[in-house]
Homo-oligomer: A and B are copies of this chain.
Amino acid sequence: MTTIEVKTHHRNELLDVTAQVARVVSDSGVHRGAAVLYVPHTTAGCTINENADPDVRHDILLTLSDLVPQDRRGYRHGEGNSDAHTKASLIGFSQTVLIENGRLVLGTWQGIYFAEFDGPRNRHMHVRVVPHG
């Protein structure tokens, strides 16, 4: 298992980690398998999305913040980050990306993103490369 260090710079941020994950896959020498990504936090997750126009990430984060505002009548958790916990469970903490011919099988427009919802912080993402038969 390899742990990638991720440094985020904003409270909400989709940080491209595709190159780091690809390096772990390449270093593993695995030809055919999967990369299992896992974020060991509760106010951050990971997702896949567009790797070209950064405005897509902006619009995703804008929508999430409209839907899940930082303040909501009825919140009980005292740390002011209930929104971040909720966004993380909606986006998810894990992704499985297939590997063929030693490389991640990503769609043309797909990148892998660390999804920060309570930054800026120093964060981690675990990557386990699993060979398939």
Q: How far is the CA of A117 from the CA of B59 in the complex (A)?
A: 15
* A interface list, Cβ under 8 A from B: 1, 34, 36, 38-42, 47-50, 53, 55-56, 58-60, 62-64, 66-68, 72, 74-79, 82-83, 85-86, 88-98, 100, 105-110, 126, 128, 130-133
Q: What residues of B have a CB within 8 angstroms of the CB of A89 in the complex? A: 47-49, 60, 91
Pairs A–B under 8 Å by Cβ, sample size 20: A1-B100, A38-B97, A38-B105, A40-B105, A40-B106, A40-B107, A41-B107, A42-B49, A42-B107, A48-B94, A49-B88, A53-B78, A55-B77, A56-B85, A59-B75, A59-B82, A60-B85, A60-B86, A62-B75, A63-B83
Q: Which residues of B contact A109 (CB under 8 A)?
A: 41-42
Query: A68 vs B34: C-alpha distance in the bound complex, in angstroms?
Result: 31
Given contacts A42-B107, A59-B76, A78-B55, contact A85 B49 (CB under 8 A): yes
Distance (Å) between the CB of A48 and the closest chain B CB?
5
